Amino acid sequence: MEKAISAEQLQDFKHDLHTDSRHDVLRRAVSKNGILAASYDLPAVANDINWTFSIDLDTGKVSNQKQSGRCWMFAALNTMRHFMKDTFRVEPGFELSQNYTFFWDKLEKSNYFYENVLKTAELPTTDRKVAWLMETPQQDGGQWDMMVGIIEKYGVVPKSAMPETYNSSSSSEFNATLNLKLRKDAVTLRELVANHASDEEIAKTKKKMLTEVYRILTYSFGEPPTSFDFEYRDKDNNYHIDQNITPKEFFNKYIGWNLDDYVSVINAPTADKPYNHLYTVEMLGSVVGGRPIRHLNVDMDTFRKIAIKQLESGESVWFGSDVGKESDRKAGIMDTRLYNPDELFDVDFSMSKAERLDYGQSLMTHAMVLTGVDLVNGEPRKWKVENSWGDKVGEKGFFVMSDEWMDEYCYQVVVNKKFLPAELQKVFETEEPQVLAPWDPMGALA
């Protein structure tokens, strides 16, 4: 077996290329337009992808996360905003403050990072866990359970009480600054442990570090309100005011969900994660002592059915997917038939969902909200998706997702556990989760 590419092999490669009479046409098309545009096949999906759904929730206007990675946060707050719209008849453009939860998430993630640094301080920096921590001390992304931890501790506020700033809407400068500080602080904390510093000295040092993080956050995002007045007019133009209300009081009064009822359900068909069992991810979280990450892995048929049940009840569904795969952002289409690179290059690119997860080809990258589904003879054909990329993409910010695309690239839904079969509800109540490695794809942050 030859290991190096030989001159004879190069001749064979060229001969293979020129046996296809279309190669010059294809070369020109691909080199001029790019691979995606040259393999784009909208007619293949045009008959099936339209904007009519048998279940179509009215959720108001879409939001815009702009140049930030807060999709998971926007999606969670959007589901709560939908509830407020239906219950209190707030205007369609009403939003909860994503900047408020962003502030607390960054503070809590900083503390979570410090605690993980201390836990791993006796390991060398070449250890995989330490290297994983230092690669990205914190980022904008997150998961549902992390959002629950923030809301349970700090509540929520309307956008008017803590509006966006430059840094919340465009977070790259902020993240670079905070990660610089966290890595520098990691050096200090590891040195304290190496020098056998007392717990009191380490706690004092960590408090100083968090004080500095709080200052950076306040200059960047503003200081979160401890109380505020909530004024609004409902759809009938009736005026309402709620004075001097705290963020936790606001959540309890205007949303009032028992967040323990909402659980994360995943579809990860890999050999290391048998279905109908619970999983968690080591070193993944934000609020120390807050709600732990817990995922129930189920087959795709169950995954679909519980999402449909929640939509049928009139409630939208938070979900996580690999949105960049086989999708057209501008048109708002997610369909596995949209591009055909296999035919373009005469190469088989197919991989199973499990193979893509195991070999790093796919993982959850983005969270959105299911707001509708098209059921034909009781079976889902396509899904309506509320994104958080503003109203200039898709259909006024909404996307359409084929059921086949959901099969291949959707990894997580969050549903009220009452929609789970009784035997799966029992798993949540009784089973201790299996701990996955920090770098497991199910630990990916949307």
Q: Give the three-class secondary structure for 306.
A: helix
**pLDDT the model gives residue 20:** 87
Alpha-carbon distance of 78 to 72, in angstroms, equals 10
CA atoms within 13 A on the CB side of 220: 25
Q: How much is the average pLDDT of 80-97? A: 95
Closest CA to 319 of 385, 273, 230: 385
CB 130 within 8 A of CB 124: yes
Q: How much is the average pLDDT of 147-154? A: 98
| Look-up of token digits 């009822």 | 261
Q: Can you list the pairs that 11-15 forms with residues at least 24 positions away whose Cβ atoms lie under 8 Å? A: none
**pLDDT the model gives residue 216:** 98
| Confidence class for position 45, pLDDT limits 50, 70, 90 | confident
- pLDDT tens for 157-207 read 999 999 999 999 999 999 999 999 999 999 999 999 999 999 999 999 999
Please list the residues that pair with 327 across neighbouring strands: 334
Could you tell me the two tokens for 231? 């004024």
Q: What Cα–Cα distance (Å) separates residue 13 from each residue in 7, 8, 386?
A: 10, 9, 46
Which residues form the catalytic set? 71, 366, 387
Quote the crossing angle between the two packed helices 128-135 and 172-194, to the nearest 10°: 150
Weakest-pLDDT range from 42-46, 140-144, 231-235, 418-422? 42-46
Q: How much is the average pLDDT of 226-253? A: 96
Alpha-carbon distance of 104 to 155, in angstroms, equals 10
**pLDDT the model gives residue 255:** 98
CB 312 within 8 A of CB 375: no
**pLDDT the model gives residue 92:** 87
Helix (H) or strand (E) holding 128: helix 128-135
Q: Which residue has the higher pLDDT, 118 or 21?
A: 118
Alpha-carbon distance of 315 to 350, in angstroms, equals 35
Closest CA to 144 of 283, 282, 285: 285
pLDDT at 21 over 90: no
CB 320 within 8 A of CB 367: yes
- φ/ψ region of 378 (left if φ > 0, alpha if ψ in -120 to 50, else beta) reads left
Q: How much is the average pLDDT of 208-234? A: 97
Secondary structure of 284-299 in the HEC alphabet?
CCCCCCCCCCCEEECC
Instruction: Tabulate helix, strand, coil % of the chain (nearest 5).
Output: 45, 20, 35
End-to-end distance of the chain based on CA atoms, in angstroms?
Answer: 43
**pLDDT the model gives residue 2:** 80
Alpha-carbon distance of 39 to 338, in angstroms, equals 8
Within 10 angstroms of residue 85's Cβ, the number of other Cβ atoms is 20
How does strand 333-334 pair with strand 398-402?
Answer: parallel
Please give the mean pLDDT across all residues of the chain: 96
pLDDT at 43 over 90: no
Length of the chain: 446
**pLDDT the model gives residue 46:** 80
Which residues, including other chains, have CB under 8 Å from residue 25's CB and lie 6 or more apart?
none
Q: Give the three-class secondary structure for 368.
A: strand
Estimate to the nearest angstrom the gap between the alpha carbon of 5 and the chain centroid.
Answer: 42
| Confidence class for position 233, pLDDT limits 50, 70, 90 | very high
| Look-up of token digits 């009519």 | 52
Alpha-carbon distance of 198 to 162, in angstroms, equals 39
**pLDDT the model gives residue 386:** 98
Alpha-carbon distance of 210 to 191, in angstroms, equals 18
- pLDDT tens for 311-359 read 999 999 999 999 999 999 999 999 999 999 999 999 999 999 999 999 9
Weakest-pLDDT range from 19-28, 159-168, 257-266? 19-28
CB 98 within 8 A of CB 170: no
Q: Give the three-class secondary structure for 305.
A: helix
